[in-house]
Amino acid sequence: MQNIKGLLFDKDGTLIEFHTIWVKVALDLVKELNLLLKAEDASLTDDLLQAIGFQNNQVDPKGILAGGTKLDIAEAFEAVIRQKGLPLPETLSETGLLQQWVSETLLQITRLNIDQIRPAANLTKLLDHLREQGIRVGIATADDRETTNLYLQTLQIDHYFEFVGTSDSYEKKPHPSVFQAFCSHFGLRSEEVVVVGDTVVDLHLAKNSSAGLAIGVLSGAGSQQDLEPLADLILPSIEGLVREDGRFVWQG
């Protein structure tokens, strides 16, 4: 029986349902960018979506939308715009302004669609049980802090998370810095921590960090086939972390 003392969760696709919010957000973001560019290229929308990992109404589990940061999104958009020879509007022409626009617009769109956020499990029940058993919990997400706080507050689970690791504070996953910070915060050894996520990026984080366990969940962008080579366990969702008898999945 492994002596697990901490769980580091991914956010989108793990704690919350991915497709109910992020597909709508991505479509609206590209729509807003098209309005700014005032381009007449009929293929621009498809090219921008494809650049961030969304094509034929499918999310690429290894693409930017599934596991990238807002900087990644901005850089992907800029690459498409340059490839097509389109001029950026003056408001976005200086270095860093497109990234700022992506960040601010994503936050605005998220707020407008906040009622679409759905938990991937009964989070209160799960997090209460983890707390009762003395398991420390944290979040490692490619999102930024402001948007992450909005999600957690909307789901009324922000008070459970003493550690929230976001891409504007740490190197993006799968760099182990966020895992190491979580361990340091709670005084845990790497082998005492489980990483739980829905993408290969999350599971690579676990491997790069020498985590005690890498648990993949099928509630987000990743498939069984994607996750199987890297996961110690694969669950339909984080609901499966606790067995019917109250024991955790790693306990026997």
Mean pLDDT of 208-228: 95
Mean pLDDT of 104-116: 93
Return the pLDDT at 42.
Answer: 78
Percentage of the chain modeled with pLDDT above 90: 83
Nearest to 18 by CA among 218, 173, 224, 168: 218
C-alpha 140: how far from chain center: 8
Mean pLDDT of 220-240: 95
Mean pLDDT of 161-187: 97
Return the pLDDT at 76.
Answer: 96
Mean pLDDT of 124-139: 97
Confidence label for 40 from pLDDT (cuts 50, 70 and 90): confident
Tell me: pLDDT of 159 over 60.
yes
Confidence label for 48 from pLDDT (cuts 50, 70 and 90): very high
Q: Which domains does the chain have, with CATH numbers?
A: 6-17+118-241 (3.40.50.1000), 19-115 (no CATH)
Confidence label for 1 from pLDDT (cuts 50, 70 and 90): very low
- Phi and psi at residue 38, in whole multiples of 5°? 50, 40
Mean pLDDT of 205-222: 96
Dig out the tokens for 192 from the structure: 């005492």
- Write out the E strands in the chain: 6-9, 54-55, 58-59, 136-140, 163-165, 193-197, 213-217, 233-235
Mean pLDDT of 169-174: 95
d(CA 64, CA 73): 7
- pLDDT greater at residue 43 or residue 205: 205
pLDDT averaged over every residue in the chain? 93
**Using a CB cutoff of 8 Å and minimum separation of 24, what contacts does 185-189 make?**
185/138, 186/5, 186/6, 186/136, 186/138, 186/162, 188/5, 188/6, 188/136
Cβ contacts of residue 154 below 8 Å, gap of 6+? 114, 117
How do residues 141-152 score in pLDDT, each as one tens digit?
999 999 999 999
Using N-to-C axis directions, what is the helix angle for 44-51 and 70-83, rounded to 10°?
140
How do residues 75-91 score in pLDDT, each as one tens digit?
999 999 999 988 888 88
d(CA 186, CA 162): 9
Return the pLDDT at 39.
Answer: 80
